[in-house]
Amino acid sequence: QQAIPMPQGGNQMHHWDLLDQSPGGFALLREATGHARVAIGDLLGISHSPDGPWQTGIVKRVRYRGEEDLIVGVQKLMEQVEAVNVTSPDQQEPVPGLFYRGQTTPVTAATLLLPIGRWSSGQSVSVTRLGSLLLGRVVELTTQFEIFEVTAR
């Protein structure tokens, strides 16, 4: 597994060993980390290959095994995400986000992951390559990001 802390942790790629996997998440191991900085609530980009496809996950558990081996429990958030830039009428400077198109089986809504703080349900945003979207209800909220259901305008 490859993992990249996103968006505030930078974009350095690290190799992790997959210890366990379930429909809802992963247990990942990074040996001899030198006490790498990973915290509960961090957003990770995860892929089997540096070329993707990528999915996102949120760190739910962190523990050290021995002196330096780091084990991280990651809850899956979205699979097959697309990096986008987002603007709104009051926020002209583009902000990076992650768009998930949703799926029909099982039915899941399209969602947009954005940095915390400047967005609200009912707000119209412009998304690169997608056009205008309406932010719906918040489906995930952390100290670093929020995920909104979205619909086309």
Confirm if 65 and 28 have CB atoms less than 8 A apart: no
* Closest CA relative to residue 58, chosen from 38, 37, 43: 43
| Cα 152 to Cα 74, 83, 96, 106, 111, distances in angstroms | 30, 17, 19, 20, 11
- pLDDT tens digits, 73-104: 999 887 778 888 999 988 878 988 889 887 77
User: How far is residue 93's CA from residue 19's CA, in Å, rounded to a whole number?
Assistant: 41
Given a cut of 90, whether residue 148 has pLDDT beyond it is: yes
**Torsion angle, CA of 110/42/145/129, rounded to 10 degrees?**
-50
Helix (H, G, I), strand (E, B) or coil at 152: strand
The reported pLDDT for the residue numbered 61 is 93
Other beta carbons within 10 angstroms of residue 142's beta carbon come to 14
Confirm if 36 and 3 have CB atoms less than 8 A apart: no
pTM here?
Answer: 0.70
